[in-house]
Amino acid sequence: LNTERTVDERLLSICELLETHIDYYNWVGFYFRNGNKEELHLGPYVGAPTDHTVIPFGKGICGQVAVSNENFVVPDVAAQDNYIACSITVKAEIVIPIFVNGENIGQIDIDSNTSDPFTEADERFLEFVCSQAAMILE
């Protein structure tokens, strides 16, 4: 009997934990760079299904993080001009890059139905979560 969990199962567990335990985390998912192509592909996620399963580099908040290698905290999505709406209930978003061997290989993306909910504590916490995800992905 093989009880080992796959990478996707472990990443999905991270999404479930975050979405369940932090009330202003309403959609939690991973996007990953697709090989050498300049596009992100949706990985494990929890929340409403999204049409945006492939996002070109530079497009939306996620695509901008793929290029900048920096955290992106959006207190009010309505104030962003380069934003891809997944659901009309979303008010705010945070995207934190995941680095493996110093390379930006993807990101965690969290949408909130609350306005301006994310603090520096969320950034530090999610950087830690991303470092754990990187160890799963290595």
Considering only residues 22, 52, 57, 136, which one is a binding residue for ligand SME as defined by CB under 6 A? 52
In what side-by-side order are the strands of the sheet with 54-56? 54-56, 39-46, 27-33, 103-112, 92-100, 72-74
* Structure-block tokens of residue 2: 């093989």
Judged by CB, which is closer to ligand SME: 93, or 122?
93
Whole-number Å distance between alpha carbons of 116 and 130: 22
86 binds ligand SME (CB under 6 A): yes
Say how many residues touch ligand SME, by CB under 6 A: 14
Task: Say whether 1 sits in a helix, a strand or coil.
Answer: coil
* 14, 92, 106, 109: residue in contact with ligand SME (rule CB under 6 A): 109
The residues that touch ligand SME, with contacts defined as CB under 6 A, are 27, 50, 52, 55, 60-63, 83-84, 86, 93, 109, 111
